Amino acid sequence: MSGLQSIVVSGLILLGVWGSSAPVLGAEDGDPLFASDELLAVQLTGPLRSMARDRSDEPEARAGRLSFTDSSGTLVEVPIELSPRGKSRRDRQVCSFPPLSLKLPKKEMDGTVFENQKSLKLVTYCKSQERHQQYLLKEYLAYRIFNLLTDNSLRVRLLQIEYVDEDRGGKALVRLGFVIEHFKRFAKRLGVKRVKPITIPREQLEPAQASLVELFEYLIGNVDFSLVSGPTGDDCCHNAKLFQTADGLMLPVPYDFDMTGFVNPPYGTANAQLKQRNIRQRIYRGLCRAGDHHQNAVERAQEMRQPIEQLIRDQAGLDDNNRKKILSYLAAFYDVLDDPQKLQKDILGTCRYPL
């Protein structure tokens, strides 16, 4: 474990540089993993090369180890299962290393930062070049922006990971990654129920949340989502999940923000069906609904402009060029919101499926 300790003491990225331990969403809900935005150093050991090469439809779970230092300075090492996940990022032409699913021994996590965590999705580095760290940080920021807009959002925790590949004699690579709150933990935190219909009528969506999700997707330049149906042969929805509230409405919760203008990854492509010129072109994909829900979403985004901008300015590890670009991209979004004519033309007057 000297590798992990060296990361903490004198590694490539010192924890103190990366932010404070200020509480974030859900610090009180028993999930300490998401109770801080401080960078967390871990070590992930396993047969990484063979796992990365597994492009089968049902990839094999492989034995690995997760190691980290707890709050008392004690080294914790637990057995876990690792498996590739995702779709586009498992294409070897897109990423050399896939996103991962981590299965943790829940009982052994008691009393640690991973308490209550049984299964986690890990967003990885895609490719080993340093510039891919910037794309990862921007996707992480997209999740954090939606956290600012609403508590009805999936929480994330940024990790500094030392990947130790048993297939290559323990060769190590240190890269950033982040874990995403599990849907079951989200449901428990919010007191809602995960549901898996094939499709739903748009009237069944919780209107305030749906309007906010649609505006957020416009903010980050995402057209690759649906709140009412999923891909052929899959349950609802596309890059979003549904949770039923006590009154029977469906709360949509978005995820997977890499294929967006905000992140602008090298593998991003424009949507020809929508006549999108490039991935950075914003196209509003909101559904029409009665009431002031669209306008309320706009007002919420306007209210949170300064905290969102500050979040981007404060993100350690984001280089000046990318920081400048995404702040400019964000400013263009607010130019639309702050101009009544543009707002009507580009958002309020372009909802789909008129009532």
310-351: per-residue pLDDT in tens? 999 999 999 999 999 999 999 999 999 999 999 999 999 999
* Pairwise CA distance, residues 292 & 160, whole Å: 43
Is 66 within 8 Å of 77 (Cβ atoms)?
yes
Of 178, 181, 186, 261, give the one whose Cα is nearest residue 224: 261
pLDDT of residue 22: 32
- Band of residue 98 on the pLDDT scale cut at 50, 70, 90: very high
> What is the C-alpha separation between 225 and 137, in angstroms, rounded?
21
pTM of the model: 0.92
Neighbouring CB atoms inside 10 A of 83's CB total: 17
The predicted pLDDT at position 16 comes to 32
pLDDT digits (tens, 9 = 90+) for 144-203: 999 999 999 999 999 999 999 999 999 999 999 999 999 999 999 999 999 999 999 999
Three-state secondary-structure class, residue 334: helix
Q: State the maximum Cα–Cα separation within the chain, in Å, rounded to a whole number.
A: 62
Euclidean distance between the first and final Cα of the chain, in Å?
61
pLDDT value, residue 71: 81
Cα separation, 253 vs 237, in Å, equals: 9
Domain coordinates in residue numbering, the chain = 2-185, 192-348
Q: What pLDDT is recorded for position 354?
A: 80
Tell me what percent of the residues of the chain surpass a pLDDT of 70. 92
Mean pLDDT of 90-97: 81
Q: Determine the pLDDT at residue 242.
A: 98
